[in-house]
């Protein structure tokens, strides 16, 4: 094994570590984004349910929909 082979192994190992760190950072970021979007989707669903109930009450139950 000459010096070039060792250098290539160290460089490859370093790149592998960088890729792993980048993957973890992306995973953490996407996890946070997905949690936020999920929370907002739940809030939207709750708001839509509340709106439906109010409209149903105002129209005397003649909307023709059910929950």
pLDDT digits (tens, 9 = 90+) for 38-65: 999 999 999 999 999 999 999 988 766 6
d(CA 20, CA 32): 18
The DSSP result for 33-50, as a single string, is HHHHHHHHHHHHHHHHHH
Q: Tell me what pLDDT residue 42 has.
A: 97
pLDDT digits (tens, 9 = 90+) for 6-41: 556 656 777 888 999 999 999 999 999 999 999 999
> At which residue do the structure tokens 């023709």 appear?
64
pTM, two decimals, is 0.58
Q: Which of 41, 44, 45, 47 is nearest to 55 (CA)?
A: 47
Q: Tell me what pLDDT residue 35 has.
A: 97
Q: Tell me what pLDDT residue 5 has.
A: 59
């Amino acid at each position: 094994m000459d010096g070039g082979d060792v250098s290539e192994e160290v460089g490859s190992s370093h790149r592998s570590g960088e890729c792993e760190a980048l993957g973890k950072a992306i995973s953490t970021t996407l996890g946070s984004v997905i949690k936020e979007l999920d929370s907002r989707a739940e809030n939207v669903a709750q708001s839509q349910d509340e709106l439906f109930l109010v409209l149903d009450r105002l129209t005397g139950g003649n909307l023709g929909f059910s929950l």
